[in-house]
Chain A
Amino acid sequence: DTGVSQNPRHKITKRGQNVTFRCDPISEHNRLYWYRQTLGQGPEFLTYFQNEAQLEKSRLLSDRFSAERPKGSFSTLEIQRTEQGDSAMYLCASNSLKGTGGNEQFFGPGTRLTVL
């Protein structure tokens, strides 16, 4: 059973560096979501894709953040010129419009980013 996978699981970087995270959704899922979770908080929505189209972006997604899903399969989230405030867990989730039950989102294990 292949769930949502994310790489790397942990990333430590210095302020000002660029980082890129990858998310591989469940194969038949056409929707992919990115969330950010800081310590003591619930996940906050960043953006989502339907196939390769990015349909919604949160105001949290500053111009230093960019997300892509070029072939409608895996997605990447890049943060340029990282800041200490970017330190968080970045979660990826996926689901499909097919089926019933409120279109549950399936979450990956997350990438924990630490900016020094």
Chain B
Amino acid sequence: AQTVTQSQPEMSVQEAETVTLSCTYDTSESDYYLFWYKQPPSRQMILVIRQEAYKQQNATENRFSVNFQKAAKSFSLKISDSQLGDAAMYFCAYRSVLSGTYKYIFGTGTRLKVLA
């Protein structure tokens, strides 16, 4: 069974600085998707960025980028030029491609605090 681990329960970053959130996962599959979702306080989760395992190039979305290390099963999220609105819970999620299931497997989350 696949598992997702986020080892940082909480992180803090100064406004305008850069922060990296860690995520590792375990799977025996070769093809899958990885996601980072943001959950602001009392608001719904929204997708931040996705990565397809068969693509070696790291995904980027504006200030958000990932460092995808397939062999190491690592998928970290880098937030550049942090803004107050980035404060939220961040969840890393895995989705199988081959097994026929479309469910997400989530990590336990990292709470990001942005300091003014």
Give A residues with C-beta under 8 Å from B: 3-4, 31, 33, 35, 40-45, 48, 56, 58, 91, 95, 101-105, 107-110
A92 nearest in chain B by CB position: B44
Q: Are A101 and B104 in contact (CB under 8 A)?
A: no
Of all chain B residues, which has the CB nearest A42?
Answer: B106
Among all A-B residue pairs, the 5 with the closest Cβ atoms: A42-B106, A102-B33, A45-B103, A107-B45, A109-B44
Interface size on B, residues (CB 8 A): 24
Residues of A within 8 A of B107 (CB): 42
Q: Which interface residue of B4, B45, B47, B101 has the most chain A CB atoms within 10 A? A: B45
Please tell me if the beta carbons of A33 and B103 are within 8 angstroms of each other in the complex: yes
A20 to chain B, nearest CB (A): 20
Chain A residues with CB under 8 Å of B35's CB are 102, 104
> Knowing that A95-B102, A103-B95 are A-B contacts, what are 12 other residue pairs whose CB atoms are under 8 Å apart, sorted by A's residue number?
A4-B44, A31-B102, A35-B104, A42-B4, A42-B93, A43-B104, A58-B103, A91-B45, A102-B33, A102-B50, A107-B46, A108-B44
